[in-house]
Amino acid sequence: MTEEKTEDGPGLKGEIALPEEEDVLAPVVPGGLDQAHPSVPALRERFPDAFLRHEVTGGDEHVVFVAPDRTFEILQWLKEDADHFYNFLSDVTAVDYGGGRPLQLVYQLYSIPHRRALRLKAELPLSELEADSVVPLWQAANWLEREVWDMFGIRFRNHPDPRRILMPEHYAEGHPLRKDFPLRGRFSRAEQTRRALSQEVEDYYVPSELGPGREPQLVRWRELSGAPKATAKPDVDPTPEDGGGS
């Protein structure tokens, strides 16, 4: 491919070579742009063996990829170092691009004193979907990490309450935001209903809702054409409020 000048300005002559797929997935950061964000060169200098690459998205959103086994250490330094002091964790989430590629664990940080944002990513292979919990650094990570576990299947070591948060604790179909998760679920609708009805009442209520005077509402179910259906009558016939007979 060669370049020539035309009356309308510079142009390209010959065939245009399309970039390789790797070039599309890994944008090149223009020289010197990493200096625009103080935390980027500081991270590269402080953790040279764990700093993998740096990207800029949306024009000014800086993303740093780090080694998964060093994530907690790096995040702790970013929070406690006075020159950076990312004291606000606005989000913990994950991204699954499918095709057997690693899952990206994403931390969105913000420094209120320095008015500075930074996104940190760690790529986890499908065979090792595990990371250290950052709840000791930010309490906000408690429910956020539970959601990542529930939706993507990433476990967090040393999490104080590692339960599912959106799906039932006994949900057996997997993690709904994974690319390999079927849109209608792994089980048929009838099987999903059967499994839901076979769970204990305690799976749907917190202890305070099961206390005295707070009896849960139970609905009578029976099989119709092989699928469970609700009947019109409740388990217990209501008693007339006036106490009179019929």
Strands 155-157 and 130-132, by their bridges, are parallel
Give the tokens for residue 235: 């388990």
Q: Which of 62-76, 134-148, 202-216 is the least confident region?
A: 202-216
| 185 conformational bin, left if phi > 0, alpha if psi -120 to 50, beta if neither | left
Q: In the beta sheet, which residues pair with residue 106?
A: 93, 121
Give me the mean pLDDT over the 155-179 stretch.
91
Asked if pLDDT for residue 165 goes beyond 60, the answer is yes
Q: For residue 167, give the nearest of 158, 181, 157 by alpha carbon.
A: 181
What is the pLDDT at residue 50?
97
Residue showing tokens 């039932």 = 168
Which pLDDT does position 153 carry in this prediction?
A: 96
Domains and CATH numbers, the chain: 26-163 (3.30.460.80)
Give kind and range of the element (H or E) at residue 150. helix 141-152
State pLDDT tens for residues 47-102.
999 999 999 998 889 999 999 999 999 999 999 999 999 999 999 999 999 999 99
Global confidence as pTM: 0.69
Give the residue-averaged pLDDT of 104-132.
Answer: 97
Band of residue 212 on the pLDDT scale cut at 50, 70, 90 = low
> Rounded to the nearest 5°, which phi and psi values hold at 33?
-70, -30
Least confident of 61-70, 100-109, 175-184, 187-196: 187-196
Res. 223: pLDDT tops 70: no
Which of 159, 158, 130, 129 has the alpha carbon at shortest distance from 144?
Answer: 159
Say what the pLDDT of residue 219 is: 55
pLDDT higher than threshold 60 for residue 233:
no
Whether residue 20 is predicted with pLDDT greater than 70 in this model: the reply is no
| Amino acid present at 231 | T
First to last CA, the chain: 95
Question: Distance (Å, rounded) from C-alpha 104 to C-alpha 94?
Answer: 5
Give the SS3 label for residue 235: coil
> What pLDDT does residue 227 have?
55
pLDDT given for residue 122 in this prediction: 98
Residue 146: helix, strand or coil by DSSP? helix
CB 143 within 8 A of CB 165: yes
Question: How many angstroms from the chain centroid is the CA of residue 231?
Answer: 39
